[in-house]
Amino acid sequence: MLPPFPPQFFVLLGIDIFLGGSIATIAFDENFPTGLPYMLDFGALAGFIQLVIGPGYISGYPAEMQFYYCAAFAVIAVVTVLGCNLYVLFIRGRKVVGSILAVGATVPSFLATLFFVSAYVNGAYVTLPILPLLPWEVVWGAFIGASALIAMATVVVYHGKLHQ
């Protein structure tokens, strides 16, 4: 059975997560170091370079290795956004901003990555000993829940900025 999309999709997903994290750090710029958005943009640029030179390089590997290679980039992006969230919560001590960042960036990026990994694994024979196969109902529920969290976080952030 063929996978529903190529494994390079995970590199594209990681690029999106890095860029979303960059936007989130710009939105809360007083809570982050000045160079952090640029570092996240550099992570997105590294993913774009992988996409440009990757097809000729990665196509020589078996399907499982291609998946692990590309999914690792998306996982690195999620861990980076999680690190930004933990920085705001514990180093800066901003519980409200950290909660908004968690609801608006960290949890949706984790759920989106989990959604697409499950969709890829359910459509292809790739073994993941750590992650169980999720039924489609759970996957769609997580996707809809993440979308709702993004919408709610957007409303809360803009509502809070309007009343400052």
Encode pLDDT of 68-92 as tens digits.
888 999 999 999 999 999 999 888 8
**Between 134 and 115, where is the model more confident?**
115
- Could you tell me if residue 15 is inside a domain? yes
Encode pLDDT of 108-124 as tens digits.
898 888 888 888 887 65
Q: Give the long-range contacts of residues 125-129, CB within 8 A, separation 24 or more.
A: 125/1, 126/3, 126/63, 126/64, 126/67, 127/64
Give residues with Cβ within 8 angstroms of 14, minimum separation 6.
Answer: 43, 47, 73, 74, 75, 76, 77
> What would the two tokens of residue 82 be?
């999680």
Q: At what angle do helices 107-123 and 9-27 cross, to 10 degrees?
A: 170
Q: How confident is the model at residue 16 (pLDDT cuts 50, 70, 90)?
A: very high
pLDDT at 17: 93
- Could you tell me if residue 77 is inside a domain? yes
Number of domains comprising the chain: 1
Encode pLDDT of 45-75 as tens digits.
999 988 888 766 776 777 788 888 889 999 9
Q: Which domain holds residue 123?
A: 9-162
Q: What mean pLDDT do residues 15-28 have?
A: 89
- Could you tell me if residue 107 is inside a domain? yes
- Could you tell me if residue 4 is inside a domain? no
- Could you tell me if residue 32 is inside a domain? yes
> What would the two tokens of residue 107 be?
């949890």
- Could you tell me if residue 118 is inside a domain? yes
Q: pTM score, two decimals?
A: 0.74
pLDDT at 111: 84
